[in-house]
Structure 1
Amino acid sequence: MSQIEEIRMQVMWNRLISVVEEQALTLLRTAFSTSVREAGDLSAGIFDPAGRMLAQAVTGTPGHVNTMAEAVLHFIAEIPRGEMYPGDTYVTNDPWKGTGHLHDITMVTPAFRGDILIGFFACTAHVVDVGGRGFGADGKSVYEEGIQIPIMKFAERGTVNADLLRILRANVREPDQVIGDFFSLAGCNDVGQKRLMEMLDEVKLADLQTLGEFIFTRTHAAMMERIAALPKGRWSNDMLTDGYDEPIRLAAEVSIGDDVINVDFTGSDAMSRWGINVPLIYTKAYACYAIKCVVAPDIPNNSASLAALTVSAPENILNASRPAPVSLRHVIGHMVPDLVLGALAKVLPGKIQAEGAGALWNIHISARPQAGKTGRRAEVLMFNSGGMGARPGLDGLSSTAFPSGVHTMPVEATEHTGPIVIWRKELRPDSGGAGKYRGGLGQVIEIAPRDNHEFEFSAMFDRIASPPRGRDGGEDGAPGSVALDDGTRLKAKGWQFVPGGKRLVLNLPGGGGFGDPGERPDEASVEDRVKGYVTEAGQ
């Protein structure tokens, strides 16, 4: 290939990324659920006719993007090519063939150029409600957690499946929001397809084959170069998480070979009877993300880069089998990067960040009027983040979602969704672990029902009994806590009640510190106190 042709292909590769970014932003701007519209809990990507991911949008989460890379293959396996038509859109929320739990809706749209199938667009988003027990850990099987949508057609030849919409309306608490999100998902794929056809017309290409081979060839070569530069061998790490009613041990062994890196999760605890189990597809997503963050952060994420990273596990909490309850698969799944990074810290000493809060502190609130009062019912979902672990050379980021990457919804948007008041949402002093580089701070959040209202909430919290660990001499981050404003301690997981006139107080965990605290520069310590990150009592 000539140098001019290589440059042309690189430009088209960048254009393809712009296409899927517009696809994702369309979903972001049209979604009904605040988890999508405000927090960006979504993904979007384009795939070749064989189901190999060519490009992903920058907007979105690793858990969605990397599971979607495998999910499209399940769609292709279940819907015969002869039954795919222009104008089709396919859908599922199968946790084992989608993104790990029922709240995530994955839609796949075949892209036709004339009568020729040239690829697929896919997207995923978290919807506010799927029926069942609601978003929480209390289910004893996936059957209790909500409606299950097998891989099927949302639309055929442009006609939406009206029967599916009627079934959805009869099974969810917020039908307008949920169905609105379904149409937003389908619409964003349509936008991607339109922009792709415009691009192909402009550059005079009939399909994506030549560009796809260029993308995969270059990505594979770059990944092989990075893996070749790493030490070869096996390194392991383990971690305790809070679990539901007893601690859960996670274990990982990272094996680096000549052309592949494998993570094996043998030794992790057995499946839980509560809804914190993780399907392997989600475990893979975050294990691969952790490795890419260290080994190849600048190499585009596509099927060729992911192919160099493999995951194995016997049946356990990180490889849960159907019909295990999996609603809160993110709580354990978000710990996987710190688990893997702990093993990589032995491969690359001094170069890996400390542990952070890991799991999002999501809270699903079901608000209602008090008995005998009039008011509003609503389902409210908030995404909240603790602190990141300190990095080699840098303090940890405060109240930042790692590894999920989602935003925290603005207070105003959350309060608009339902009859609640967020009285306090601020950084939590003294929560970052001390070190040469300080761990990121958690936050303090106080939530109360509005007058004449009360609410139940689903707690989805961790790092209360097992705080984030520091690295290379750094101290642990502060553990989290859950309580009412009168001091009543509440559980870290499960549905619980907040009566009218009370406030729910959440103290989110801080990240672990990195390096000997005695080596922290004096000017950095002074700045910590001036900014209120560290108090006199916390020194």
Structure 2
Amino acid sequence: MSDQTRDIRMQVMWNRLISVVEEQALTLLRTAFSTSVREAGDLSAGVFDPQGRMLAQAVTGTPGHVNTMAEAVLHFIAEIGRDNMFAGDTYVTNDPWKGTGHLHDITMVSPSFLGDDLVGFFACTAHVVDVGGRGFGADAKSVYEEGIQIPIMKFAERGTVNADLVRMIRANVREPNQVVGDFYSLAACNDVGHRRLIAMMQEIGLTSLDALGEFIFTRTHAATLQRIRALPQGTWANTLATDGYDAPVTLAAQVQISGDQVNVDFAGSDPASRYGINVPIIYTKAYACYALKCVIAPDIPNNWASLALFTISSPENILNAPRPAPVAVRHVIGHMVPDLVLGALAKALPGQVLAEGAAALWNIHMSVRPVAGQTGRRAEILMFNSGGMGARPGLDGLSATAFPSGVMTMPIEATEHTGPIVVWRKELRPDSGGDGQYRGGLGQVIEIEPAPGHEFDFSAMFDRVNHPAAGRDGGGAGAAGVVALDDGTLLKPKGWQHVPAGRRLILHLPGGGGYGAPSARDAEARAEDARQGYVTGKQP
């Protein structure tokens, strides 16, 4: 066949491969037990070649899962060994340094065989509601306190589930049915991907994915390389202050664009913390590469070849925390990495990079129980919430939007269904977006009360309380976050705390920074802000 005909055929097969991983991800969404997966899409799914190189990823998924998974599969291959892989196998881990950065994320990898030949791997990741230990919070002093650790091992061999592993999990978590159910959902997700891939290969007459993989990688590599070569050459640095746990933490990055590669180095960042806000380098890499792709190659598919041109380095510090550092809420600092890297890129590419935003999700984990002497229901409830994005060159920031994580909003009804709480209010927070030619996105106000006869402890995993999102090119800062009870008592932005019966927890989520001088904002845009109630002129 002609080269043009071959290319068209390969492109059709590439599209088919993407549809396979999309169905893989949808299987997990439809069968998951945890609301963080089912409602928020806190997951990833992808297909890999026999060498463990990511061919395609599902659109549904977070950069922290997708890009760590791209590296994790190589660890699975190295530890399981090709001679110990069989049709019907599924492998599992929640190792923070070989998976996705903390114990609450479960990564599963399954080999895909066509007859006796290994043709690829499917991998998926999801956040589960509990892994035992201290629970989902920053209070632990080592990873050993944070929950059950599952080294890379077999969840199933030749189709038979490891019953002893399931029993161990059930004995170590507070919500065994939800957690074990999610394990089976993850395994089913990979199984669906495998069956669809084999059906596709048999239909088309493929005996391997080698030719398709070469087509995907060569084109992606060439397209990404072209973008990098068009960039200015040099080195640009940036620092960013975050709230930390009990003291501010400074993050530092240096972006070097040289020849055919872009490297980000995190030397100069503060040392690892005593608390669980540390970030394993695999997670730091994931979000640093995401920031680079957002600016340099946002429209180029995310796979092994496009990621290979971005390199990440760091000495041991809070962004390259060594084992056994506590890492349970590594996302709070990890979600700041894109703003940190984008701040350096803004110096290389002025006028092309958005302002800082809320960045870190305002996750809240509630452990609800009946008040002493009362009957009621116990429950572990995880809720994802988003502040405002930074304003963009030419556009206002998006409100209540999860950037950079990309997870979806969790409906109040679904959250209340999981346990005895009442969410009285969840609305946009007026005046929280930074002023500028383009306004920063708004945060939210969320009000939560234990149901009658109940109380709850909650794990605060919040930032931008003491260090709000900065504006860009003259734009104003977004509003800082606030954590308080309804009687005005201020609470800490991190750590386990108590909400007694009859009291309400009120969260004021931070807004995004503005872009450009406020004096340049269009008069009609200001009038529309007032009409919509986005800006009232009062203190946020």
If the TM-score is normalised by the length of the shorter chain, which range does it land in? over 0.9
1:495-514 superposed matches below 5 A = 495-514=496-515
1:27-42 superposed matches below 5 A = 27-42=28-43
Question: Within 2, Cα distance between the matches of 1:421 and 1:59?
Answer: 29
Residue type at the aligned position of 2:373:
G
Q: What's 2:60 paired with?
A: 59
Question: Within 1, Cα distance between the matches of 2:166 and 2:279?
Answer: 28
Q: What's 1:19 paired with?
A: 20
Equivalent position SS for 1:425: strand
Matched-pair contact (CA < 8 Å) for 2:255–2:265:
yes
Question: Within 2, Cα distance between the matches of 1:385 and 1:371?
Answer: 34
Q: What's 2:368 paired with?
A: 367
Equivalent position SS for 2:112: strand
1:231 maps to 2:232? yes
Question: Within 1, Cα distance between the matches of 2:81 and 2:465?
Answer: 48
Q: What's 1:210 paired with?
A: 211
Residue type at the aligned position of 2:421:
I
Deviation at 1:20, TM superposition (A): 0.3
Matched-pair contact (CA < 8 Å) for 2:124–2:186:
yes
Alpha-carbon deviations, 1:487-534, whole Å to 9, x = none? 000000000000000000000000000000011000000000000000
Residue type at the aligned position of 2:185:
S
Deviation at 1:202, TM superposition (A): 1.5
Question: Within 1, Cα distance between the matches of 2:292 and 2:216?
Answer: 20
TM-score (norm 2): 0.99
Question: Within 2, Cα distance between the matches of 1:206 and 1:106?
Answer: 28
Matched-pair contact (CA < 8 Å) for 2:438–2:514:
yes
Equivalent position SS for 1:78: helix
Question: Within 2, Cα distance between the matches of 1:516 and 1:224?
Answer: 35
Q: What's 2:90 paired with?
A: 89
Structure 2 unmatched ranges of 5 or more: none
Aligned length: 539
Question: Within 2, Cα distance between the matches of 1:13 and 1:260?
Answer: 26
Question: Within 1, Cα distance between the matches of 2:375 and 2:538?
Answer: 46
1:493 maps to 2:494? yes
Question: Within 2, Cα distance between the matches of 1:15 and 1:252?
Answer: 39
Q: What's 1:357 paired with?
A: 358
Alpha-carbon deviations, 1:312-336, whole Å to 9, x = none? 0000000000000000000000000
Deviation at 1:200, TM superposition (A): 0.7
Q: What's 1:377 paired with?
A: 378
Residue type at the aligned position of 1:505:
I
Residue type at the aligned position of 1:13:
W
Q: What's 1:245 paired with?
A: 246
Question: Within 1, Cα distance between the matches of 2:61 and 2:229?
Answer: 30
Equivalent position SS for 2:255: strand
1:313 maps to 2:317? no
Matched-pair contact (CA < 8 Å) for 2:431–2:537:
no
Question: Within 1, Cα distance between the matches of 2:7 and 2:204?
Answer: 14
Q: What's 2:165 paired with?
A: 164
Q: What's 1:273 paired with?
A: 274
Question: Within 2, Cα distance between the matches of 1:194 and 1:80?
Answer: 23
Structure 1 unmatched ranges of 5 or more: none
Deviation at 1:538, TM superposition (A): 5.2
Matched-pair contact (CA < 8 Å) for 1:382–1:408:
no
Question: Within 1, Cα distance between the matches of 2:259 and 2:226?
Answer: 10
Paired-residue identity, %: 77
Question: Within 2, Cα distance between the matches of 1:153 and 1:537?
Answer: 57
Q: What's 1:302 paired with?
A: 303
Question: Within 2, Cα distance between the matches of 1:295 and 1:520?
Answer: 28
Deviation at 1:257, TM superposition (A): 1.1
Question: Within 1, Cα distance between the matches of 2:157 and 2:293?
Answer: 38
CA RMSD of aligned residues (A): 0.7
1:125-140 superposed matches below 5 A = 125-140=126-141
Residue type at the aligned position of 2:90:
T
Residue type at the aligned position of 1:290:
A
Alpha-carbon deviations, 1:362-414, whole Å to 9, x = none? 00000000000000000000000000000000000000000000012000000
Residue type at the aligned position of 2:261:
V
Question: Within 1, Cα distance between the matches of 2:267 and 2:471?
Answer: 24
Matched-pair contact (CA < 8 Å) for 2:387–2:402:
yes
Matched-pair contact (CA < 8 Å) for 2:228–2:296:
yes
Deviation at 1:203, TM superposition (A): 1.2
Alpha-carbon deviations, 1:55-109, whole Å to 9, x = none? 0000000000000000000000001111100000000000000000000000000
Q: What's 1:336 paired with?
A: 337
Alpha-carbon deviations, 1:269-295, whole Å to 9, x = none? 000000000000000000000000000
Deviation at 1:536, TM superposition (A): 3.4
Question: Within 2, Cα distance between the matches of 1:59 and 1:525?
Answer: 35
Equivalent position SS for 1:496: strand
